[in-house]
A = this chain, B = another copy of it.
C-alpha cells in the first residue's frame, strides 16, 4: 500500500492538513485559505481525498487525516524538508526561498531519491527552519515547544522553529531575526490582540500576535 503516486494537488492538501493540525480536525475554510482555493473547491477535493481513504470528513466538523493520509503527508513533508536542507546547506540558497523551491521538488522525488538524499545529507533531524524531518515511514515527533504568541510577558525563550509557508510571512520573520536558535525576551504585549514587543539580540522588535503563532519556542531554562 501507499505505492500509488499521488497528484501534486493531493500531496499539497495532505501536507497542508499536516501543517495545520497533525491529528485533530481541520476546518475546510482554513484548508481553503492555506491552499488559496475557494471553500467549494476545498470541499470537492476533500470528498475526493476521503474517497481515496486519505482523509476522514465529518460534515460541519472538519477533515482529519487517516493513518494512510498521515503517512503520505509525513512523507511529503520529509521530502520537502530534506530538499530544504540540501538547498540551504549545499546550494547556499537564501533562507527565505527554501520553502518555495523545496515545495516544487517535493512532488518530483521518487522514494529511492528521497532516501539517497537523506543519506547524502547525513540524515538530518530538522530542516533549516527548525522543523523536524519525518522518518521514511512518515512518522515524526512534533516539536516540544509552544507558539511565541502564548508566551507571557517577561519570559525569555529560545526559537525552536519557524513554521510558516507563506513567503511574506517567512520574509517578515527573517527580517526581524526570528530564526531557530535565537534567544528572545517578550518585553510587552499590547491589548486587543495587539503586537508583542520583543528583545531579539539587542534589538527591539514589534511582532503581530498572528505572526507570533508561527514562531515555535521553548522556555529558556536558566
In contact, A120 and B87 (Cβ under 8 angstroms): no
Closest chain B residue to A115 by CB distance? B91
Within 8 A of B (CB), among A188-214: none
A92 interfacial contact with B, CB 8 Å: yes
In contact, B116 and A93 (Cβ under 8 angstroms): yes
A139 interfacial contact with B, CB 8 Å: no
In contact, A113 and B87 (Cβ under 8 angstroms): yes
Q: Give the A interface residue count (CB, 8 A).
A: 20
In contact, B91 and A117 (Cβ under 8 angstroms): yes
Within 8 A of B (CB), among A96-142: 97, 100-101, 104-105, 107-110, 112-113, 116-117, 119-120
In contact, B101 and A110 (Cβ under 8 angstroms): yes
Complex interface: chain B residues within 8 A of A90 (CB): 120
Closest chain B residue to A103 by CB distance? B108
Cα distance A93–B114 in the bound complex, in angstroms: 11
Complex interface: chain B residues within 8 A of A92 (CB): 116
Complex interface: chain B residues within 8 A of A93 (CB): 112-113, 116
A104's contact among B91, B108, B116, by CB below 8 Å, is which? B108
Complex interface: chain B residues within 8 A of A110 (CB): 100-101, 104
Give the 8 A-B residue pairs with the shortest CB-CB distance, closest first. A91-B116, A104-B108, A108-B108, A105-B108, A101-B113, A91-B120, A101-B110, A90-B120
7 contacts between A and B (CB under 8 A): A87-B116, A91-B113, A91-B116, A93-B112, A104-B109, A105-B108, A105-B109
